[in-house]
Amino acid sequence: MSNTERTFIAIKPDGVQRGLVGDIIKRFEQRGFRLVAMKMIQASEDHVKQHYIDLKDMPFYGGLCAFMHSGPVVAMIWEGLNVVKNGRLMLGETNPADSKPGSIRGDFCITLGRTIIHGSDSLDSANKEIALWFKPEEMVEYKSCQNGSCMSK
Ligand code: UDP
Ligand code: MG
């Protein structure tokens, strides 16, 4: 358990196209997690195939990868205590139909093929996904003004 645990969160093409970027970022900010990196990117098909490589034998793999590649995604790294597990709780269940109201999927979507957001499912996946989507120099170090470090004297 660490305050510097990191997870990979991506707003998928449907989330971007439906104008949900702000709502989703707001939830992670207001929970108290810290944004470490963010970019909007239309990933190549090879890139999204690699991202979902664990699902390569599933019947929906081809359609999922084609969809992820069909438009821009907003890729982010969020940091904080238990952010991997709590990020997943904030997302809701894989099937939006089973996601509780109050979760992102439970509030904003209804169908398995259009789940609007990706979140790493373990620390190991988070590390792999962060390395796949971001270069070290894209991860930004900064101090919060809430700790007094940037108050003027
Ligand atoms: N998915 C799908 N059909 C399924 C299961 C998953 O289209 O039967 C899609 C869905 O968009 C999901 C993504 O594949 O978000 C990745 O699946 P995973 O099991 O990793 O779910 P997640 O981690 O996104 O909850
Ligand atoms: Mg997954």
Average pLDDT, integer, range 2-30: 97
Q: Is the minimum distance from the CB of 60 to ligand 1 under 6 angstroms?
A: yes
Residue partners of 40: CB distance under 8 A and separation at least 6: 16, 72, 73, 74, 75
Q: What is the pLDDT of residue 146?
A: 79
Q: Considering only the top CATH level, what class is 6-137?
A: alpha beta
Q: Which residue has the tokens 């991506």?
A: 10
CA-nearest of 137, 19, 118, 20 to 78 is: 118
d(CA 43, CA 150): 36
The token duo for 35 is 């944004």
Residues labelled catalytic: 118
Question: With 90 as the cut, is the pLDDT of residue 71 above it?
Answer: yes
Name the pLDDT band for 151 (thresholds 50, 70, 90).
Answer: low
The closest-lying atom of ligand 1 relative to the alpha carbon of residue 63 is 7
CA-nearest of 21, 118, 111 to 68 is: 118
Question: With 90 as the cut, is the pLDDT of residue 38 above it?
Answer: yes
Question: With 60 as the cut, is the pLDDT of residue 110 above it?
Answer: yes
Q: Is the minimum distance from the CB of 64 to ligand 1 under 6 angstroms?
A: yes
Return phi, psi of residue 95, to 5°: -90, 115
Q: What is the pLDDT of residue 125?
A: 98
CA of 9 to the centre of ligand 2 (A): 11
Q: pLDDT of 42-54, one tens digit each?
A: 999 999 999 999 9
Euclidean distance between the first and the last CA atom of the chain, given in angstroms as a whole number: 35
Q: What is the CA radius of gyration of the chain?
A: 16
Average pLDDT, integer, range 26-39: 97
Name the pLDDT band for 145 (thresholds 50, 70, 90).
Answer: confident
Q: What is the pLDDT of residue 1?
A: 74
Name the pLDDT band for 144 (thresholds 50, 70, 90).
Answer: confident
Average pLDDT, integer, range 79-97: 98
Q: pLDDT of 89-103, one tens digit each?
A: 999 999 999 999 999
Q: What is the DSSP string of 17-78?
A: HTT-HHHHHHHHHHHT-EEEEEEEE---HHHHHHHTGGGTTSTTHHHHHHHHHSS-EEEEEE
